[in-house]
């Protein structure tokens, strides 16, 4: 299909690209269409002789193989993606003329790529890191890319510092260690000298950096953008994605375990949920700030290290995105997709955020090396669904065969085509923002308050979340070898919260310095006045913001939550099946796990029960909850099985819901936490936060489902610490 016509057809079929099906019933050919007679043996001079240079079939195959890799993304190399649709649920024409945001009947195809930032393409999904959340909307007015993250702010305020930030966080250059980790000297050296990173550091050291699933993350456009309506009136906007499953994270110890046992944990989870028809969904949220309110806040809307607290400007939910199709080919789609913050449609425009402005340059530039030339827009996944008409020609790997003589404008020979589109004809016009300014290589003083929102974030966390941040910072700084860096960081953190700094200092065996011999602020130009650049902390700011703590996320369903049932021969099959059924009715997923694969028999039934995972091939870190049904023989086998006991200990350590029949209590008693269980094991008792024992199966199942909805019982973590 010619590229120009692909759009119309694609809108109709919902398929964005041409696909080559498996070659069922076809003969093998070379890339030039020649049928191949033998693809298993190269051409040789005699049975035991040397291979001949003449063997063009061998050469074509090996040459192609030799060139199969392209450079991985310089950041966000590790990613997973899916197709879907976006639908706006109210007409937003009061704010924007973007058609996909005004016409409620339009279903806009999207392709979404999630990523980690620091690691290489093959690194683990569960690294402590920011997650990329990049959405390509294939609208009828061209592609709009919302290239965001799962955190609403960023490390730096000016694009010119991005290469430094990335060099600092990437593996150290002399030995390429550590992979996908910020816990090393160069990163914290840079951060310790960059106070503008204070707010982002709080986010990255929080549980937000360890998502339970890509489906359970928020997304943020980070920068303030503009929406522009038909009358050319503009408002400022922050974009949000709110997951319908809530925002949830795993424990750090769990994350490290998952990294070893299944580095593809998030990728697999996304893939499987779409294959199972459990389509991930997000609501698109907007925070709208009228033009006249540009200077109303104590932070600058152009400063990407600041968010707009939802208490000040509520997030209005305007549409839903559903991911409903896995890519057919990882390389062709997920690897070759090229996002660019500069891909906008009429009705969406930029602001002067200096980070955003730098990004406008970087994204096309990086594709030139990564995808090999200026025609990457012709790669199927990058094509808009509308036809492309312009005078650009040639270049590496050009796919389009342009007819005719005119590749210039103005022209008469093609009757002036393609025409420029006026605003009324859907042409993009930049918002005519008035700028009266002198050229200046400086930062606005309105960007200097680096700590207020870092404090706001920390103060808005629950006790367990604060504990996790304390642990995370102690871990990271504990891995830093150079003491002056640790010291600077302790001072830095004491500007955010003295208790937090003191706790870390205790953990890493140091003291929080009262002052520092050197300035932390490296933003000062050589001839600048240091006083002018002193970080300001604004007093009287908002003390807490509910939206910043994951405790306040929605906890109303167990959809797609994974529940392990530990069972062996002789299990109480009636209870096992009743609890399994109750979980599945609520949309949860169940694995029956036994020391070995095959089938187990129930004490009360002749019907064999299939074992879906063995203790050899799975681990508690892959589940959200565990249930141990009764049955004398099953219980006796599990009680004596070290892997089963470890499974339970670990699930407890990671604060997951655990349920057991009353007669399976002895299995729990064999665990570390079981020793701490109260003696009372009467029927229908919830024995400990998130540990439910006994009672009639239906009641137990009901209580268990409610417990799983809570996601985790973090509050039991510190007082009931168990080794596992
Ligand atoms: Fe990016 N970023 N970035 N970034 N970014 C890239 O583009 C860059 C920033 C984000 O799944 C690169 O195609 C600069 C903020 C995502 O393919 C590159 C600056 C945010 C992805 C690049 C930033 C992002 C990228 C590397 C500072 C959140 C992955 C490969 C001015 C709002 C997109 C590529 C995907 C990727 C540059 C900062 C999000 C080099 C210069 C802030 C989600 O162009």
| 340: in domain | yes
Summarised one tens digit per residue, pLDDT across range 638-664 is 999 999 999 999 999 999 999 999 999
Rounded to the nearest 10 degrees, the angle between the axes of helix 642-653 and helix 632-639 is 80
Q: Output the CA angle 210-471-676, nearest 5 degrees.
A: 95
- Please tell me the distance from the alpha carbon of residue 6 to that of residue 388, in angstroms, as a whole number: 10
Q: Are 247 and 295 in the same domain?
A: yes
The three-state secondary structure class of 626 is strand
Quick one: which atom of ligand 1 is closest to the CA of 337? Answer: 17
Q: Are residues 510 and 636 in the same domain?
A: no
* 579 shares its domain with 475: no
Atom 27, ligand 1: residue with shortest CA distance: 159
Centroid of chain to Cα 441: 34
Nearest to 155 by CA among 163, 147, 144: 163
Query: Could you tell me which residues are beta bridge partners of residue 148?
Result: 133
Q: Is 342 in the pocket of ligand 1 (CB under 6 A)?
A: no
Q: Contact at 8 Å (CB) between 241 and 218?
A: yes
Whether 143 and 343 have beta carbons less than 8 Å apart is answered as yes
Q: Determine the 3-state secondary structure of 563 from DSSP.
A: strand
Full residue range of the structural domain in which residue 613 is found: 555-716
End of a domain among 367, 382, 397?
A: 382
Pairing status of strand 589-594 against strand 613-614: parallel
Q: How far apart are the CA of 117 and the centre of ligand 1, in A?
A: 9
Q: Which residues of the chain have pLDDT under 70?
A: 1-19, 519-540, 680-686
- The domain that holds 563 is classified in CATH as 3.40.50.880
Q: Are residues 245 and 209 in the same domain?
A: yes
User: Is 391 a residue of the active site?
Assistant: no
Residue 75 near ligand 1, beta carbon < 6 Å: yes
CATH number at residue 494: 1.20.1370.20
Task: Indicate if ligand 1 lies below 6 Å from the C-beta of 131.
Answer: no
In 3-state terms, what secondary structure has residue 343? coil
Here the tokens at position 102 are 């005004």
Q: Which atom of ligand 1 is found nearest the CA of 147?
A: 43
417 sits in the region (left: phi over 0; alpha: psi -120 to 50; else beta) called beta
Q: Is 509 helix (H, G, I), strand (E, B) or coil?
A: coil
Task: Tell me how far the alpha carbon of residue 631 is from its chain's centroid.
Answer: 42
Q: Is the minimum distance from the CB of 366 to ligand 1 under 6 angstroms?
A: yes
In 69-197, which residue ranges form alpha helices assigned H by DSSP? 162-169, 185-192
Query: Same structural domain for residues 586 and 512?
Result: no
149 lines ligand 1 (CB under 6 A): yes
Judge whether 327 and 82 are in contact, CB under 8 Å.
yes
Looking at ligand 1, which atom is closest to the CA of residue 75?
26
pTM of the shown model: 0.95
Q: How far apart are CA 642 and CA 537, in angstroms?
A: 54
Angle at 482 between CA 478 and CA 485, to 5 degrees: 85
Distance in angstroms (rounded) separating the CA atoms of residues 565 and 585: 16
d(CA 72, CA 717): 39
Question: Is the Cβ atom of 74 under 6 angstroms away from ligand 1?
Answer: yes
Does residue 480 line the site of ligand 1, with CB under 6 A?
no
What are the tens digits of pLDDT across the range 15-48?
Answer: 555 667 778 899 999 999 999 999 999 999 999 9
Q: Is residue 335 part of a domain?
A: yes
Among residues 76, 345, 110, the alpha carbon closest in space to that of 241 is found at: 110
Residues 638 and 651 both lie in one domain: yes
Tell me, yes or no, whether 433 lies in a domain: no
Judged on CB neighbours under 10 Å (0-12, 13-18, 19+), 37 is exposed
**What token pair was written down for 660?**
């057991």
Residue 214 burial class via C-beta count within 10 angstroms: exposed 0-12, middle 13-18, buried 19 and up: buried
Cis status of the peptide bond prior to 178, with omega within 30 of 0: yes
Tell me whether residue 64 is one of the annotated catalytic residues: no
Minimum-distance ligand 1 atom for the alpha carbon of 358: 31
Out of 551, 572, 588, a domain closes at 551
Tokens found for residue 586: 């609520």
Answer yes or no: do 334 and 475 share one domain.
no
**CA–CA distance from 270 to each of 10, 113, 249, 617 (Å)?**
24, 11, 15, 20
Residues 235 and 365 in one domain: yes
Report the CATH number at residue 319: 2.40.180.10
Phi and psi at 199, nearest 5°, equal: -65, -45
* Ligand 1 atom closest to Cα of residue 73: 30
Choose the catalytic residue: 10, 83, 143, 149: 149
Contact between 114 and 216 under an 8 Å Cβ cutoff? The reply is no
Q: Which tokens is 501 given?
A: 């700094």
C-beta of residue 232 within 8 angstroms of C-beta of residue 262 = no
pLDDT number for residue 678: 72
> Taking each helix axis from N to C terminus, what angle separates 697-709 and 573-585, rounded to the nearest 10 degrees?
40
The residue behind tokens 């004596």 is 640
Count of C-beta atoms within a 10 Å radius of residue 392:
13
Quick one: pLDDT at residue 4?
45
- Identify the domain boundary among 533, 551, 569: 551
Per-residue pLDDT, 15: 52
Ligand 1 center to 162 CA (angstroms): 10
Same domain, 568 and 535: no
Query: Per the domain annotation, does 561 fall within a domain?
Result: yes
Which has the closest alpha carbon to 169: 208, 138, 212, 123?
A: 123
Token pair for 456: 């706001």
Type and span of the H or E element at 82? strand 79-88
Same domain, 120 and 222: yes
Report CA(264)–ligand 1 centroid distance (Å).
22
Within-domain flag for 459 = yes
**Distance from C-alpha of 211 to C-alpha of 248, rounded to nearest angstrom:** 6
Number of domains in the chain: 3
355 pocket-lining for ligand 1 (C-beta < 6 Å)? yes
Q: Are residues 363 and 457 in the same domain?
A: no
| Residue 705 to residues 460, 579, 583, 625, Cα–Cα distance (Å) | 28, 9, 7, 10
Mutate to test the pocket of ligand 1, among 267, 359, 364, 368 (most ligand atoms within 8 A of CB): 359
Q: What pLDDT is recorded for position 3?
A: 43
Same domain, 331 and 295: yes
State residue 722's pLDDT score.
Answer: 80
For residues 700 and 582, what is the distance between their CA atoms, to the nearest angstrom? 10
Residue 261 lies inside a defined structural domain of this protein: yes
Cα(702) to centroid(ligand 1), Å: 45
CA angle centred on 299, ends 296 and 304, rounded to 5°: 125
CA 691 – CA 555 distance, rounded (Å) = 18
């Amino acid at each position: 299909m010619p590229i120009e016509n692909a759009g119309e057809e694609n809108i109709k079929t919902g398929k964005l690209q041409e696909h080559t099906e498996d070659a069922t019933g076809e003969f093998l050919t070379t890339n030039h269409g020649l049928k191949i007679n033998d693809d298993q043996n190269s051409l040789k001079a005699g049975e035991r002789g040397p291979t001949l240079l003449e063997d063009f079939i061998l050469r074509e195959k090996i040459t192609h193989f030799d060139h199969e890799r392209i450079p991985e993304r310089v950041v966000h190399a590790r990613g997973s993606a899916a197709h879907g649709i976006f639908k706006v649920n109210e007409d937003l024409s009061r704010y924007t003329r973007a058609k996909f945001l005004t016409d409620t009947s339009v279903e806009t195809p999207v392709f979404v790529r999630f990523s980690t930032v620091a690691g290489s393409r093959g690194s683990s999904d569960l690294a402590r890191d920011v997650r990329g959340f990049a959405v390509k909307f294939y609208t009828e007015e061209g592609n709009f890319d919302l290239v965001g993250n799962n955190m609403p702010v960023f490390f730096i305020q000016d694009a010119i510092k991005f290469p430094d930030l990335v060099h600092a966080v990437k593996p150290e250059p002399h030995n390429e260690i550590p992979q996908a980790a910020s816990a090393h000297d160069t990163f914290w050296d840079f951060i310790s000298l960059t106070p503008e990173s204070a707010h982002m550091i709080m986010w990255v050291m929080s549980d937000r950096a360890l998502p339970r699933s890509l489906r359970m993350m928020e997304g943020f456009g980070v920068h303030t953008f503009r929406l522009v309506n038909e009358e050319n009136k503009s408002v400022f906007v922050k974009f949000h994605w709110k997951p319908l499953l809530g925002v949830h994270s795993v424990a750090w110890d769990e994350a490290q375990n998952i990294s070893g046992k299944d580095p593809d944990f998030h990728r697999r989870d996304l893939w499987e949920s779409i294959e199972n028809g459990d389509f991930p969904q997000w609501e698109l949220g907007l925070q709208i700030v009228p033009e006249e309110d540009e200077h109303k806040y104590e932070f600058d809307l152009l400063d990407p290290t600041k968010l707009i607290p939802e208490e000040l400007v509520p997030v209005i939910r305007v549409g839903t995105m559903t991911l409903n199709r896995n890519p057919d080919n990882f390389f062709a789609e997920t690897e070759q997709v090229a996002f660019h913050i500069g891909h906008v449609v009429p009705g969406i425009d930029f602001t002067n955020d200096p980070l955003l402005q730098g990004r406008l340059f970087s994204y096309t530039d990086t594709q030139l090396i990564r995808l090999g030339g200026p025609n990457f827009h012709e790669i199927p996944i990058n094509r808009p669904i509308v036809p492309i008409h312009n005078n650009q020609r040639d270049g590496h790997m050009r796919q389009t065969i342009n007819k005719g003589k005119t590749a210039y404008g103005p022209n008469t020979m093609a009757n002036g085509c393609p025409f420029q589109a006026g605003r009324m004809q859907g042409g993009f016009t930049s918002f005519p923002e008035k700028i009266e300014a002198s050229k200046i290589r400086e930062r606005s003083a309105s960007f200097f308050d680096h700590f207020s929102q870092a404090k706001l974030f920390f103060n808005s966390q629950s006790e367990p979340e604060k504990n996790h941040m304390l642990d995370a910072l102690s871990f990271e700084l504990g891995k830093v070898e150079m003491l002056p860096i640790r010291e600077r960081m302790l001072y830095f953190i004491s500007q955010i919260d003295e208790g937090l700094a003191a706790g870390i200092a205790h953990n890493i065996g140091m003291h929080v310095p009262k002052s520092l011999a050197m300035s932390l602020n490296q933003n000062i130009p050589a001839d600048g006045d240091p006083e002018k650049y002193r970080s300001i902390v604004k007093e009287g700011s908002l003390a807490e913001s509910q939206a910043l703590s994951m405790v306040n996320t929605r906890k109303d369903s167990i959809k797609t939550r994974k529940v392990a049932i530990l069972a062996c021969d002789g299990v109480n099959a009636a209870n096992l099946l009743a609890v399994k059924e109750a979980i599945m009715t609520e949309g949860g997923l169940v694995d029956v796990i036994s020391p070995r694969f095959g089938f187990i028999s129930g004490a009360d039934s002749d019907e064999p029960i299939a074992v879906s995972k063995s203790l050899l091939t799975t681990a508690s870190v892959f589940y959200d909850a565990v249930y141990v049904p009764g049955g004398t023989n099953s219980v006796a086998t599990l009680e004596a099985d070290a892997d089963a006991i470890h499974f339970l200990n670990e699930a407890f350590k990671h604060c997951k819901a655990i349920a057991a029949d009353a007669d399976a209590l002895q299995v729990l008693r064999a665990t570390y936490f079981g020793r701490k269980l109260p003696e009372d094991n009467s029927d229908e008792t919830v024995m400990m936060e998130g540990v439910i024992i006994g009672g009639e199966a239906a009641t137990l199942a009901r209580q268990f489902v409610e417990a799983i909805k809570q996601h985790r019982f973090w509050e039991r973590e510190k007082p009931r610490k168990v080794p596992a």
